[in-house]
Homo-oligomer: A and B are copies of this chain.
């Protein structure tokens, strides 16, 4: 399992197409196909259902997506934050949530976290919690702490 494979996987999942994902990743489409197949082979089951007109996630793919996003976001954080001041409680806590549990814990955990570490930044990755996170960002759900959603490059 390699990082670029996770990148390609997320691109396919988000675009719903191998072709468009290849464009986004700036590689040839067969090369992307090849890497996705290797990933599926390593994990033991297909990640996408290849339908005639579009590509949709399988159950395994749906489970992988938030975790892949979390890992890619953490890598982003590393590149951004290593040279900068990540001291003095200004750290970045990167948390990946699983769909089932997110709605229950997320608001409370964020609130709790913001109370203990007001200067720290929280990074949340989970597709199904996107709406929730957006509400927080928009200020409809005040949690008292800076929250941002990492872009997946």
A residues sitting closer than 8 Å to B (CB atoms) are 1-3, 43-45, 60, 63-64, 67-68, 70-71, 74-75, 77-79, 81-83, 86-89, 91-98, 100-101, 104-105, 108-109, 112-113, 116-117, 120
The answer to whether A74 and B70 touch across the interface, beta carbons within 8 angstroms, is yes
Q: Please, which residues of chain B bring their CB within 8 A of the CB of A1?
A: 3, 75, 78-79
Complex: A98 Cα to B116 Cα, angstroms: 13
The answer to whether B101 and A120 touch across the interface, beta carbons within 8 angstroms, is yes
- A69 CB, nearest partner CB in chain B, Å: 11
Given contacts A3-B2, A75-B1, contact A44 B101 (CB under 8 A): no
Q: Please, which residues of chain B bring their CB within 8 A of the CB of A71?
A: 71, 74-75
7 closest A-B pairs by beta carbon, nearest first, are A91-B98, A104-B116, A101-B117, A105-B116, A43-B82, A67-B78, A71-B74
Can you offer 6 A-B residue contacts whose CB atoms are under 8 A? Answer: A45-B83, A63-B82, A64-B78, A67-B94, A94-B96, A104-B116
Complex: A100 Cα to B119 Cα, angstroms: 12
Complex: A63 Cα to B87 Cα, angstroms: 9
Complex: A88 Cα to B101 Cα, angstroms: 9
Q: Please, which residues of chain B bring their CB within 8 A of the CB of A109?
A: 109, 112-113
Complex: A79 Cα to B113 Cα, angstroms: 29
